[in-house]
Amino acid sequence: MTVQPSDPAVAAFVAAVNAGDKGAFLAALADDATMSDDGTDRDLSAWAEREIFSSNGRMDVEDVSADGLTLTATYTNDTWGSMRTRWAFTVTDGRVSHFETGQA
């Protein structure tokens, strides 16, 4: 059963990933958004293309923190298969300004 994120910016991020919608994904992000994967800063654009859009990435959210900014999800893409992941978001002015992801 998929849990819906309570923060609107995080919900938009997850919906965009699951729809494979690059435009909606970019709209959910602040213009200067950053990210890290397993503790290493990554180029967000290159990472998203490789891990989400060209590999059919999708998130099945299992749990969301009380503030709506941290979630646990089964993340699946055509490259790596499925893995349990943790996502932590920073939201600024209604858009994701930073996110951290990694194995949970």
Low pLDDT (below 50) residues in the chain: none
The topology (CATH level 3) of 8-103 is: Nuclear Transport Factor 2; Chain: A, (3.10.450)
Q: Where are the domains of the chain?
A: 8-103
> Could you give the CA distance from residue 89 to residue 79 in angstroms, rounded to a whole number?
24
Quick check: 87 and 102 in contact, CB under 8 A? Answer: no
pLDDT in tens, 59-86: 999 999 999 999 999 999 999 999 999 9
pTM: 0.96
Residue 101 neighbours by CB under 8 Å, 6+ apart:
35, 36, 37, 38, 75, 85, 86, 87, 88
- The whole-number pLDDT of residue 51 equals 96
pLDDT at res. 39: 95
93: left (phi over 0), alpha (psi -120 to 50) or beta: left
